[in-house]
Structure 1
């Protein structure tokens, strides 16, 4: 009989109990979609931290926490403040190719976008092609060695080579790193272009992932289409694909002056330190001992903003996860049986710039680190066809709770997982806190594009992922999981 007891306990966990059905029913696709519609609307302007739009989104979340009568758990009320770099992109924004006497006017959003941390300037200058934009004399490779780029605009591949020299890393490939190299060589601006020989070249995305170093405030950084780059190479009779092939086959630079010019106007306003905030609330547990242990349920609230009127709505990334956190909070509040452990709900700022909000949260905990039993992260959960729960290889017992619930109730969770955290779960994982990362499978068709709108979402899948995250977190909060050692 003793051998049967653990099996019975497990089955009691994975089947939705009658007393839990009311709480689960609070999570509805209609409510989720409504919240995403609000957060991804023009009023919130893409939710770039440091902007008025992001502040409005943070206020929206804090008001929802207040309506639920959750305890404020920030520095001032629900807000936990931090500083981030901020760059506003305004009009005018211009990119034109000048080939002999012909001027080709490119369309913003279709043929080019600015990088989120572009500098501001206005000029018409000759263009040079400089391969991968890498200067590594220590590796015997320098795309700038045999071309004079002083007072010119350079075209470089946005990514680094897939091959290596002496198995050494090239660097980060972040746009700021490549921009600072080009600037140091005398260039006045940079045109990034995706690798044409990739099976699926990267589209023109909005991005504020810029890398370390000082902001080059008068150095425009533009991401142009492959077709636009080919126009600029047309005078030398080469295509971008041919240039990449030549460099990759010989593993040697192939840089040259294009004999064309480009007109660039970039209008930006940069702040080195702009105030922004995480939004944090607490639901206290009802067990006299376990209430001093915590479950963190979080999602990043930010996206990449807008550029000169071009909106990146961020419906799936990550208004979906933010809506999920609010629905889970609502379900816990509606539950007649309060959790034994306390739950911290948090909307993180500045994930898109490099997990700044979640790092700040972990580095400034208001509770003992060892008392956080688990962290659940929701990111891009509204688009796709199935459920993926990441970090299962690092927190396998935690992952199994989600897997068991899915098998008995939804049958949508794929077996693929990974280790090492992922997105805003990463800072928690690095502190040894067991974490899960809820995401929909095939979630990224509209990633960082103007087309990431609420109309593209899969409401049925969205609802099931959030319900799965709630049921998983409820088991943890009810004391049916002991913190495991992170692998």
Structure 2
């Protein structure tokens, strides 16, 4: 921790104690005092710490992730928020394998006697789970990398990729909106599936045509991959990749072929068996004999994209969501013993590698679906000028608390929608909760101010808009505080999106 961050963290703890000692006994005045105590500087302090180099991108399974988890748990403990993890701790543990990337490795292309050396991160990102070593082989374009015989589609039909490097695109050839068809194609759009399918078809490596950090890729001995930029795929194909993919989509028919290029992928990595990782969970118990058995749950994923020979700070994704929840938790802790319902704060591990932490929680919830009034998910909530509560219109009794407090205190534009069950591959922890039958709202921001750098080394702390993060946390604090004391609604009576 640098001197500035250490000083700010110290001041936050000191400020928490100072605020607690000066709060009014009048509920309305106290509410206003705590509301104004949530500041941009507080949010920035959390983000600066979470994105610091000592955590190396907070990769699930790594020791550095657990350091970040301990940082969050320490804050909860300082605020008097009780642990809700394993054996009286703040941690809900699980094992997860991870690959330590030591450098950017290398990527070379060969054609007609010429060698083209690529540079990272401009031309490619290293694969997050490549085996250590070097692979050189012919490059085969294999479309979307999908084998779906029940859908009459197979990019590998009629081509030999044994020992070769396949170049494949993300997403899927179906571009329609029919929910039943989307549900059938959805699993095939997963990058994890595509890489596994390449390996099972005998390929020795992958050039993945989507340059972003992907920590959830599977590890296979002797197998290596990189994520390439569009200009690299265009160099290999001699034309923009989409000019080929658009015809595949139009005809719903594969078009795989030898490119005339060879590629050499070098990876410098160390693969570790299951490393220990965890969700971080704390709660404030309700003070009502009956409503204490109900909970409002606030969650954000703590893990990030790790380290690929260059830093991946993961500021927007998702130090922003973690910071938003932390600031709300700190504020709500001043009302410990004064809320009828219990309030749970959970920071998920393993979101980036396949929504592992949220699935673990939903399999073993301390408050069941029937006891959980609401789960609010915060993922990439730190860039914009407006607020959004997706799915909130399906729960008007809940939405009313947030609308009123936004009108009276926060005064930002607030967009809302009705809820519906998402179709296709789940991409965020909130969808997992919905699939498990939890009432779920997705907290977001609108009207982006800064460029969004997704799974990109430019996703840094200075690219966030801390005034909107302040107001996200303020709205969470106010809405949850009022909702926790609303004894006119019961979780068991509420509508649930199917």
Aligned counterpart, 2:17? none
Cα distance between partner residues in 2 of 1:239 and 1:295: 49
Aligned counterpart, 1:197? none
Cα distance between partner residues in 1 of 2:284 and 2:336: 14
Query: Is 1:376 paired with 2:376?
Result: yes
How far residue 289 of structure 1 moved from its aligned partner, in angstroms, is: 3.4
Cα distance between partner residues in 1 of 2:361 and 2:153: 41
How far residue 74 of structure 1 moved from its aligned partner, in angstroms, is: 1.2
Cα distance between partner residues in 2 of 1:242 and 1:451: 29
Query: Is 1:436 paired with 2:441?
Result: yes
SS in 2 for 1:306: coil
SS in 2 for 1:145: coil
How far residue 127 of structure 1 moved from its aligned partner, in angstroms, is: 1.1
How far residue 434 of structure 1 moved from its aligned partner, in angstroms, is: 2.4
5 Å-filtered alignment, 1:121-132, equals 121-132=133-144
Q: 1:253 to 1:41 in 2, by over 3 A?
A: same
How far residue 460 of structure 1 moved from its aligned partner, in angstroms, is: 1.1
How far residue 431 of structure 1 moved from its aligned partner, in angstroms, is: 4.0
5 Å-filtered alignment, 1:308-327, equals 308=309, 310-327=310-327
SS in 2 for 1:81: strand
Aligned counterpart, 1:93? 105
Contact 1:95 1:106 (C-alpha < 8 Å) held by counterparts: yes
Cα distance between partner residues in 2 of 1:248 and 1:357: 35
Q: Which runs of 5+ in 1 are unaligned?
A: 1-15, 195-203
| 1:75 aligns with one of 57, 82, 86 | 86
Query: Is 1:478 paired with 2:489?
Result: no
Q: 1:412 to 1:272 in 2, by over 3 A?
A: farther
Aligned counterpart, 2:259? 258
Contact 1:349 1:357 (C-alpha < 8 Å) held by counterparts: yes
How far residue 336 of structure 1 moved from its aligned partner, in angstroms, is: 8.2
Q: 1:242 to 1:285 in 2, by over 3 A?
A: closer
TM-score, with structure 1 as normaliser = 0.86
Aligned counterpart, 2:296? 295
How far residue 220 of structure 1 moved from its aligned partner, in angstroms, is: 1.4
Aligned counterpart, 1:48? 59
Aligned counterpart, 2:43? 32
SS in 1 for 2:102: strand
Contact 1:312 1:450 (C-alpha < 8 Å) held by counterparts: yes
How far residue 486 of structure 1 moved from its aligned partner, in angstroms, is: 1.1
5 Å-filtered alignment, 1:182-261, equals 182-194=198-210, 204-210=211-217, 215-234=219-238, 238-261=239-262
Aligned residues, how many? 456
How far residue 315 of structure 1 moved from its aligned partner, in angstroms, is: 0.9
How far residue 47 of structure 1 moved from its aligned partner, in angstroms, is: 0.7
How far residue 467 of structure 1 moved from its aligned partner, in angstroms, is: 0.5
Query: Is 1:456 paired with 2:457?
Result: no
Cα distance between partner residues in 2 of 1:78 and 1:18: 32
How far residue 70 of structure 1 moved from its aligned partner, in angstroms, is: 2.0
Cα distance between partner residues in 2 of 1:407 and 1:415: 14
Contact 2:99 2:129 (C-alpha < 8 Å) held by counterparts: yes
Q: What's the CA shift string for 1:182-220, capped at 9, x where partnerless? A: 2233321111114xxxxxxxxx2112344xxx7423221
| 1:107 aligns with one of 119, 124, 127 | 119
